[in-house]
A and B are shown apart, each in its own frame.
Chain A
Amino acid sequence: MFNYTFQWKQAYAKLPQMLDGALVTMQIAILSMVIGILLAITLTLFRQSNSRVLKGIATTWVEVARNTPALFQIYMAHFGLAGLGLHLSPYSSLLLGITFNNAGYLAENFRGALKGIPDTQARAGWSLGMTRIQAFRYIVVPQMLRISFPTITNQMVWAVLMTSLGVTVGLNKDLYGVTQDLNALTFRTFELFALAAVIFYFIVKIIQIGARLLARRLFRY
């Protein structure tokens, strides 16, 4: 039994506020991806290195990021770190949690992508006088990103959806947070969350279409 009369107009009236929230959601997702990719490349390098410590750091990161719930990661970023005296705002906690997750997943995928790039590629670079770092940066990384492109797109989608966990650490400026707040005020739960779902859907669609266009440009050859 579902006893409810839908009042869509009451929800539509809140659309501008929700779209403002959607911008914050996009911002967090994009920032967490940019930082996440950079961190993931670093982690990949750590894993390739001969240092046991660096390898250990990278392996632990990837293991925790991939094998624990994103909710836990975000909650720990806020309440866990605060227990150690490090206070992060809800925005930073969510950003940190999602970035941690992104970096872990992407590092694992980059490792797989690296296997698809023959050693000879880097060696060719060295023979042309490139340093190891130059060869990694100009020859290996671009190919690695190219191979992982679909995974990166997926992770971006996941990052957008993960922002909805920000409410657990007191964030009310992103799309889900705004919706939750409006719900508390008006109790129009289903209309508001349906509307939020549609907005989430469109954000994800835009990312997918954007990625396809970008792929066409990047992978012409």
Chain B
Amino acid sequence: MKKAVITAVTFAATALAGPAMADKLDDIIASGTLRCAVVLDFPPMGSRDADNNPQGFDVDYCNDLAAALGVTAEIVETTFPERIPALVSGQVDVGVASTSDTLERAKTVGFTIPYYAFENAVVANEGVEMTDWEGMKGKTVGATAGTYEAIWLEGKIKEWGEGEFRPYQNQADVFLALSQGQLDATVSTVEVAEANVKSGNFPGIRVVDKAPMVPDYVALITLRNEQGLLNYLNLFIHQQVRTGRYAELYEKWVGEGEPADLTIKGVYR
């Protein structure tokens, strides 16, 4: 009899506990905290204000997402190369970090639909004669290692067969090198380029031209197998656009004008 009771209780407890395999979405809601990897040397997407608090488009985006989930947001600062280790080692749940959705990377991590799209600008040192993007041919150029524009720029250097490409570890080092004349030019997103020229932190740099690149569509990332969370994130991005929040955040952080279209005509997804 006693044995039967214990068995029954154990059985009931197991049934109540539900399936042992709760997914990441459940984990986040249960923990009450959403941990986002955000790059904070990438204004206006991510930076720190005068009081050293995280701010920017990506920071607000993470806060919105946390609010939708009904949890508190925690911003975990990462560099571009650290995003993936932070994700797979469980230090963060989601990367809200302007991650370009390349097919090569999609073999490793799970990408949502795009949540933002960048156009890129060519920025040059004032001492270098350059009137358009093709002026970069034969020059010493650089960008932040591993970014969409770095991959494009290094490809161009290989294609041209002249010039040199230097990848730096963060955006600040790229602009420092450019300002010092170590680099002749760089390619960075229009937003970052304008913010850096305007800031006055890097004297002697100017925006030259738009880079002839396909817009850099960036997506939220999480673990590749977290389909439930990916579904939620996709719908969240959809909601951000249709409620007008995307446009609102664009105006707040980037400025006047229309935010880039996140859809591509003629295809699904």
Interface positions of A (Cβ within 8 A of B): 1-4, 7, 10, 78-79, 82-83, 87, 89-90, 167-172, 177, 180-181, 183-190
Contact = CB atoms under 8 A, between A and B. Distances in A.
25 contacts: A3-B90, A7-B107, A78-B182, A79-B177, A79-B180, A87-B181, A90-B166, A167-B167, A167-B169, A168-B169, A168-B173, A169-B168, A170-B142, A170-B166, A170-B177, A171-B166, A172-B145, A181-B146, A183-B146, A184-B80, A184-B146, A185-B146, A187-B84, A187-B109, A190-B88
Given A167-B145, A190-B88, 9 more contacts: A3-B225, A4-B88, A79-B173, A90-B166, A170-B168, A183-B84, A184-B145, A184-B151, A186-B107
A145 B168 CA distance: 38
A3 B181 contact: no
Contacts of B145: 167, 172, 180-181, 184
Contacts of A172: 145, 165-167
Contact of B104 (A1, A3, A4, A186): A186
B255 interface: no
- The CB with the most chain B CB atoms within 10 A, among A83, A171, A183, A189, is that of A189
Contacts of A3: 88, 90, 223, 225
Contacts of A168: 168-169, 173
A167 B167 CA distance: 8
- Size bin of chain B's contact surface: 20 to 34
Contacts of A89: 164
B81 interface: yes
A72 B121 CA distance: 31
A186 B169 contact: no
B177 A82 contact: yes
Contacts of A169: 168
B245 interface: no
B14 interface: no
A196 to B, nearest CB: 13
A177 B107 CA distance: 22
A189 B85 contact: yes
A186 B182 contact: no
B31 to A, nearest CB: 12
Contact of A184 (B81, B182, B225): B81
A89 B181 CA distance: 12
Contacts of B109: 187
Nearest to A191: B108
Nearest to B142: A170
B179 to A, nearest CB: 9
B108 A186 contact: yes
A184 B146 CA distance: 4
